[in-house]
Amino acid sequence: MIIDCHGHYTTDPAGHNDFRKAQLDCFAKGLAAPDYPAISDDDIIESIENNQLRAIRARGADLTIFSPRAVGMGHHEGDEQTSKVWTRHCNDLIKRVVDLFPRNFAGVCQLPQSPGVSIEHSVAELERGIVDLGFVGCNLNPDPSGGYWNGPPLTDRAWYPFFEKLVELDVPAMVHVSGSCNPNFHATGSHYLNADTTAFMQFLQGDLFRDFPALRFVIPHGGGAVPYHWGRFRGLADRLGKPDPREHVLPNVYFDTCVYHQPGIDLLFKVIPIENILFASEMFGAVRSVDPDTGWHYDDTKRYIDALDLGPDDRHKIFEANARRVYPRLDKRIVELGL
């Protein structure tokens, strides 16, 4: 089985996004939020079969860990109540996708984060997503401000109530920011990669995993700058009096393969242990076009993995075993469905 650990519903029905535009418009005008529109199963089926599912089948994957559109989370927009309502609708829509295509998708929930609001307020929606909706993980935004980074680092005790719930539910969190409202940072070209790198450095600086030895994070997009500057991070760990990151961070942190060229994938696999890499494509995400140098889509990441000199055991880890280990609720789901 080939499991893609990083997919977003970027082809969601127009009515869903029209609601969000109207919701934010009403918020700006001080008006009551609109009603959520009726979205039929046929609308969802069409949006999935003609897009993600078509490409998944063409590119050889089997199951995608699926979450709401990342840039659409918009935690910096509206207020806490706005985010709660929007998040609930986003997660309910993912649940409908999973119910319609149970053998192709497993859900991951968005959280109702807002700048200046305690992450403890997101615990209820996490629990609803995992327990009630049957999801296998969540996306956690380390910067709800949308590019201004004015909240505490992930190692701060302000995050601990949420981490306690993650451990209790035995689910990982993918570190994933949303849109950027800071014009200095392009959302997908800068802000996302900054966040990946920043999260890793925060983990390196702190002692979070001493307090939460069972906590698990997935850092997407190949870890941002981490593999490329691995020597810098090892040197900084020594300078800060911390253990080598292979001991201090990697037992709890994993990286996906959303790296859109062969040399980048080659480097990722040379630097990061096989046990810490999960196959992913983020299809369809930031990069959807065809690479003129290869003639293949940039986000057809399975081709890059196939080009590596890996034995069958290592390929099994990358494409299936690692994801099932990091996402134990996914493993249980696969067993129950007989996949």
User: Catalytic residue numbers?
Assistant: 282
Q: 38 near 45, Cβ under 8 Å? A: no
Distances in Å between the Cα of 101 and the Cα atoms of 4, 41, 44, 133, 228 are: 15, 11, 10, 14, 37
Q: CB of 4 within 8 A of CB of 65?
A: yes
Cα 264 from Cα 287, distance rounded (Å): 15
HEC readout, the chain: CCEEEEEEECCCCHHHHHHHHHHHHHHHHCCCCCCCCCCCHHHHHHHHHHHHHHHHHHHCCCEEEEEECCCCCCCCCCCHHHHHHHHHHHHHHHHHHHHHCCCCEEEEECCCCCCCCCHHHHHHHHHHHHHHCCCCEEEECCCCCCCCCCCCCCCCHHHHHHHHHHHHHCCCEEECCCCCCCCCCCHHHHHHHHHHHHHHHHHHHCCHHHHCCCCCEEECHHHCCCCCCHHHHHHHHHHCCCCCHHHHCCCCEEEECCCCCHHHHHHHHHHCCHHHEECCCCCCCCCCCECCCCCCECCCCHHHHHCCCCCHHHHHHHHHHHHHHHCHHHHHHHHHHCC
